[in-house]
Structure formats: C-alpha cells, structure tokens
Amino acid sequence: MERLLGRYANYVYSIFRIVIGFCFMLHGTQKMFGWPPSEKAAELAGLVLAAAIIELVGGFLIMIGFFASIAAFIASGTMAVAYFMVHQPKGALPIMNGGELAAVYAFAFLYIAAKGSGLWSVDSLIRGSSAINDQ
C-alpha cells in the first residue's frame, strides 16, 4: 500500500487534519450552541467552558490549517487532561472507561502538532511554496 498511496501521503495527511479538526470542532459547537443536538446537555462552567472553547476554536484552526501545530498541541493536552480526569478513574483501559475518543484525539493532535499544517492549509498559502516543500 505504501507504494500505491505513498505518493499521495501529503494529500492524505491534509484530509486527515481537516477531518479531525472538523470532528473536534463539532464537539465545541455541541457544547456552545447545542448543535448538533445531544442527549447530554453540557453545563458550561469552569473546565467544561474552557474545553468547549478549545474544541471550537482549536478544531477550526486545525481544520483550516492556521497555526495548526499550536492549536493541535493545546488540543492534545486538553484531551490528555480529559482522559485522566474523566475517564481513567473509571478503569485502567480506554475500552473499559469510555475514553477511547479522548485517547485517539490526544495522539492524533500530537501527530498534527509535530507534522504541522500540511499541504492544503492557510499556513501554506501564507508561506507560499516553501511550506509545501518543507512537508
């Protein structure tokens, strides 16, 4: 598969970043605006409000690829904190404590923080062709 898909790796990475950012942003819109509707209404106070803002703003920045490394690093830390504060006390393994999504987001964002905005991003438009060649 690497031989077949490898030449498209930069494009696949950009799609990955866009989809992850969009999905994360939806968690923020759900908490802040009630859309998409959820069975569990979040009470926006303290850490939940901070997380909702990080999800909304950070997810949007990651999705469009604008300061994506910084936004993803903050989002990764947020998901790690969420995992250890909310899920880990319920059990040792993510499959047991309902923390799979928080764990996956934490590591996906860590990867985005390390890799950067990628090919299809606002950052690459601002920096021009040199940003594309750095990928």
What would the pLDDT profile of 106-127 be if each residue is shown by its tens digit?
A: 999 999 999 999 999 999 999 9
The confidence score (pLDDT) of residue 42 equals 63
Whether pLDDT at 81 is above 50: yes
Mean pLDDT of the region 53-81: 98
Q: Annotate 51-76 with b (16+ C-beta within 10 A) or e (fewer).
A: bbebbbebbbbbbbbbbbbebbbbbb
Q: Is the dihedral of CA 55, 33, 22, 132 positive or negative?
A: negative
Q: pLDDT tens digits, residue range 21-40?
A: 999 999 999 999 989 988 77
| pTM, to two decimals | 0.90
Query: With bands split at pLDDT 50, 70 and 90, how would you rate the model's confidence at 134?
Result: very low
Q: What pLDDT score does 47 carry? A: 81
Mean pLDDT of all residues in 92-117:
97
Across all residues in the chain, what is the average pLDDT? 92
How much is the average pLDDT of 54-80? 98
Residue 95: pLDDT over 60:
yes
Residue 123: both structure tokens together: 């950052």
Kindly state the tokens that stand for 92.
């040792």
